[in-house]
Structure 1
């Protein structure tokens, strides 16, 4: 069965997110670790998190995904911004220790004119500062569309970050279908070749999650504008290939499409209908 969920709001608590996921036919979900465009964070509630752990175990959830805020930029040219990124990530990783089977996804950041090489150094330095040997949470680098000065548009840039991170056995990658398509990787007509390239440069064993989104823009646009499944330039045929690909079909998928809860339920049902028996 396809392991799939969507992005849910943590505002009403962790257990509520788990129950909401079940109500739309999901067996996983994604949530922001803190205010996505600020610094505020929900008060730590270990009892609520323990209740979610019990629900997830009872219903055989796939790993859930905590998404770092968009304001987290560990490779900014501004020291204050880099300091916030380190503080936020370190705090997030400590808090996530209360959750079972949770991964932490973040956008690598924007080098803001310093160049990708310097950006990669700053990002690896942040990871080396924030990660700790005892952590049970796997940290995921997200593939990016390459707008502006984003780091992580190419598999080579992600591989360079991984190589420079000391505890890289705790690092993985989240592949965003909209981002890689907008970034120039043709997953519509050359999915096998894209995954072969990923395996050669990063290693498929590091691929831990898929953000499954259509794109409002054409291949290589570098614009990062998500669309509902089947309504964009990637299309249902490509998503059929994606959810059935032997390297991908067992991974957890997370929808980030412009939708409400009912819309997510329909997309989850659609994508499940596309997956064929092995």
Structure 2
């Protein structure tokens, strides 16, 4: 089965996200843990959460992916921003235990002219502070497009972070198709080669989720602008190869394309029609 969903809004609650996922033919979804451009998080209604968990159980949902806010910059040059990142991640990981055994994804951050190594030091420091042996949530580093001073633009940068985290068993990777294509990994013409490189540098056992997006910009543009499936520089043929690749097809795929619910429903229907069981 193709495990696929999209990004849904928490505005109407967790149960509603589960219902919306079913409405568009999805069997998983992604959501922001809090205001993506701020930091405030709503109180969790436990009845609402239980209703979602019931929907997920009864409909055999795949793993659900929570996304940290964009304001979480673990390697900022500003000490208060880094502390804010720590506070948010601690709170988010505590909240995630209300829906155990799922995934939490975050952007490694921007080092803001401090240099990649200093940025990585800060990210590792954060993770070694917030991760706990008892948590059931796997924390994912997202592959980035390499715009500005982003950390995580290469597999080597992701691998270095993980190698220095004490609780490595709590860590994984979310691969964004738009991001890595924009970063210079040619998944259109050399998918097997890219996956071999990922396996050599990071390890495919670390790959836990895929953000499935087309790209508005050409190869190695370092732009990070998502496009609807089949309407960008990756194209439907390449995306079809990705969802059917034997090393990837078992993973959950999350659409972050510029769509409303009806658009996501059409993309999910299209991709299900291209998936080979």
Interval of TM-score (by shorter of Structure 1 and Structure 2): over 0.9
Partner of 1:59: 59
* CA displacement at 1:100 relative to structure 2: 3.3
Deviation for aligned residue 1:46: 2.1
- Kindly report the root-mean-square deviation, in angstroms, between the aligned alpha carbons of the 2 structures: 0.7
What is the rounded CA distance, in whole Å, between the counterparts of 2:82 and 2:30 in structure 1? Answer: 25
CA deviations 1:62-101 (Å, max 9, x no partner) are 0010000000000001001000000000000001100034
Q: Which residue of 2 aligns with 1:252?
A: 252
User: Where does residue 38 of structure 2 map in the other structure?
Assistant: 38
Per the alignment, residue 216 of structure 1 pairs with 216
CA–CA distance in structure 2, aligned partners of residues 135 and 213 of structure 1: 30
Retained in 2: the 8 A contact 1:184–1:219? yes
TM-score norm. by structure 2 comes to 0.99
In structure 1, C-alpha distance between the alignment counterparts of 2:271 and 2:133, rounded to whole Å: 37
Contact 1:89 1:130 in 2 (8 A): yes
**1:124 paired residue number:** 124
Are 2:106 and 1:106 aligned? Answer: yes
Task: Report what 1:28 is aligned to.
Answer: 28
What is the aligned partner in structure 2 of residue 194 from structure 1?
194
Is there any run of 5+ residues in structure 1 with no aligned partner, and where?
none
Check conservation: 1:155, 1:202, Cα contact below 8 A.
yes
Question: Secondary structure in 1 aligned to 2:140?
Answer: strand
Paired residues, number? 277
Q: What is the alpha-carbon distance in structure 2 between the residues aligned to residue 132 and residue 150 of structure 1?
A: 26
TM-score by length of 1: 0.99
Structure 2 unaligned blocks of 5 or more? none
Deviates more, 1:180-189 or 1:37-46: 37-46
The CA distance in 2 between the partners of 1:131 and 1:159, in whole Å, is 17
Contact 1:53 1:100 in 2 (8 A): no
Matched with 2:154 is 154
